[in-house]
């Protein structure tokens, strides 16, 4: 026991003061106060470090604040075309994909290549593109405007909005500045940047906004229904901007920019009527940003109006056999029924293998044509569907169902 120590109910040591010295009490109090101060400082510093860490991990997306008084989708006066292109071109990337497909008859498994575009939306490597560009891909490569290649990982995909987010391991990238697609006006000058044909990366085309509120119906692959005829397909409806800027399939996922160099849309080149000229479409950036932020932060996205956006369907999955596939297989090119939902609208009326010839009297040769015809239908409506089955023409009257699973 140290000198001067005293404990209650213990006999005092002879020759010592039975009470603690005042200086000893003050020393103990000082130690306690110092410990409390140190604890508070540690807590404060810990909180600051945690906040700094969270800020470092937060994805920074540059967004321009605008108002309806700006007279367009951006703020300030338009830049020259040369200045716009200098600002926007480095933010657009080329995307190449590889996908393993099941055997096509006697040819065995095949590696299918694809190409598209994307837009860098954060300096630390998040890239916005279309879902159909990367959906089902086993390998995705991104090439930036300076020629640097990166292997990309999928952060998230929302196929019903045709939006996907990729991530590459990079920092200090030139990120696009997002405009406000709600303020877009018909007649605005716009620039599309992408990789048309999959071979012409960095191509810039210009035009105007032709319309601000278009609804298009497009076909997307129905993952999980792959067969010897490829993936089954289903249809989705998209609210898009229409532009006269020239776009091609490789432009899909690329950027549509306004006269201030701000990103106002993600180009979607899967439009109906391939023979039509001067028609390009883009998913509004406000919609794309909302989906992208949910995919980055939560890994998934649910549309606010998902419950009320269902369309009429036949309850089937379909696939399109193009002319090349038709020559190899000896079949006729067209749209074929791949599967029929048991108990669905077409159960007992259509069969797998049927080639759809017409819908409500209109000839059907592509999935886009079928999708466009069905876009005007409502659940409960009766549709007349003619198909070729075993060399015979069969016509079925089908009461269309409400779309619960986004099938055709």
DSSP string, 144-191: -TTS-EEE-EEEEEEGGGTEEEEE-S--S--PPPB--GGG--TT-EEE
CB 179 within 8 A of CB 258: yes
Domains, the chain, in order of start with CATH, read 1-37 (no CATH), 69-305 (2.40.10.120), 312-402 (2.30.42.10)
| Residues paired with 167 in a beta bridge | 126, 153
Neighbouring residues of 9: CB distance < 8 A, sequence distance ≥ 6 = none
| Residues paired with 303 in a beta bridge | none
Residue 313 is predicted with a pLDDT of 85
Per-residue pLDDT of the chain (408 residues; tens, 9 = 90+): 444 433 444 445 455 455 545 556 666 666 666 666 666 666 655 555 555 444 445 677 877 765 545 556 555 677 899 999 999 999 999 999 987 665 444 444 556 678 999 999 999 999 999 999 998 888 999 999 999 999 999 999 998 899 999 999 999 999 999 999 999 999 999 999 999 888 898 999 999 999 998 888 776 665 544 433 334 566 677 899 999 999 988 899 999 999 999 999 999 975 545 455 668 999 999 999 999 999 999 988 987 755 444 478 898 888 888 777 777 777 888 999 988 988 999 999 999 999 999 999 999 988 878 877 887 788 999 999 999 999 999 999 999 988 765 445
Token digits for 16?
Answer: 């010592």
Name the residue with tokens 């000229």: 277
Q: By C-alpha distance, which of 167, 157, 163, 156 is closest to 93?
A: 167
Residue 330 is predicted with a pLDDT of 79
Show the beta-strand stretches assigned E in 176-262: 189-194, 203-227, 230-243, 255-257
User: Catalytic site residues?
Assistant: 132, 162, 252
What predicted TM-score, i.e. pTM, was given to this entire model?
0.65
Dist. CA 247–CA 266, nearest whole Å: 12
HEC profile of 289-311: HHHHHHHHHHCCCCCCCHHHCCC
Phi/psi at 156 (5° precision): -175, 155
Neighbouring residues of 262: CB distance < 8 A, sequence distance ≥ 6 = 64, 73, 74, 176, 177, 178, 179
CA 235 to each of CA 270, 316, 318, 340, 407: distance values in angstroms, whole numbers, following the listed order: 11, 11, 10, 15, 7
Residue 305 burial (CB count, 10 A): 6
Q: Exposed (0-12), middle (13-18) or buried (19+): which is 154, by Cβ within 10 Å?
A: middle
DSSP H helices, 262-362, are 285-298, 323-329
Residue 26 is predicted with a pLDDT of 63
Q: By C-alpha distance, which of 9, 281, 309, 15 is closest to 132?
A: 281
Dist. CA 128–CA 93, nearest whole Å: 10
């Amino acid at each position: 026991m140290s000198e001067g120590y005293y404990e209650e109910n213990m006999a005092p040591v002879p020759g010592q003061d039975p009470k603690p010295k005042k200086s000893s009490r003050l020393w103990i109090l000082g130690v306690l106060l110092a410990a409390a101060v140190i604890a508070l400082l540690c807590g404060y510093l810990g909180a600051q470090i945690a906040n700094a860490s969270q800020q470092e991990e937060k994805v920074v997306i540059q967004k321009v604040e605008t108002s309806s008084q700006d007279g367009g989708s951006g703020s300030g006066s338009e830049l020259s075309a040369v200045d716009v292109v200098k600002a926007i071109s480095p933010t657009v990337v080329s995307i190449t994909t590889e996908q393993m497909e099941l055997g096509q008859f006697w040819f065995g498994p095949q590696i299918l290549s694809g190409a598209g575009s994307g837009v860098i939306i954060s300096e630390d490597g998040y890239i916005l593109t279309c879902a159909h560009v990367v959906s089902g891909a086993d390998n995705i490569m991104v090439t930036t405007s300076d020629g640097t290649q990166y292997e990309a990982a999928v952060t998230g995909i929302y196929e019903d909005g045709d939006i996907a987010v990729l991530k590459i391991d990079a920092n200090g990238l030139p990120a696009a500045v997002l405009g406000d697609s709600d303020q877009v006006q018909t007649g605005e000058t716009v620039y599309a940047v992408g990789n048309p044909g999959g071979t012409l990366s960095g191509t810039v085309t210009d035009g105007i906004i032709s319309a601000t509120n278009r609804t298009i119906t497009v076909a997307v692959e129905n993952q999980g229904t792959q067969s010897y005829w490829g993936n089954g397909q289903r249809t989705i409806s998209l609210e898009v901007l229409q532009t006269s800027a020239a776009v091609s399939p490789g432009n899909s996922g690329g950027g549509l920019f306004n006269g201030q160099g701000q990103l106002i849309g993600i180009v979607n080149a899967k439009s109906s009527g391939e023979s039509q000229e001067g028609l390009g479409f883009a998913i509004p950036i406000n919609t794309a940003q909302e989906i992208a932020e949910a995919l980055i932060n939560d890994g998934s996205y649910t549309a606010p109006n998902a419950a009320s956006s269902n369309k009429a369907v036949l309850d089937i999955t379909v696939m399109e056999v193009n002319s090349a596939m038709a020559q190899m297989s000896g079949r006729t090119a067209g749209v074929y029924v791949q599967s029929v939902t048991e108990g669905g609208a077409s159960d007992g009326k259509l069969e797998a293998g049927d080639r759809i010839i017409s819908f409500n009297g209109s000839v059907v040769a592509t999935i886009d044509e079928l999708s466009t015809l069905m876009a005007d239908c409502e659940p409960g409506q009766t549709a007349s569907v003619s198909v070729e089955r075993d060399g015979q023409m069969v016509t079925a009257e089908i009461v269309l169902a409400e779309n619960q699973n986004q099938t055709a």
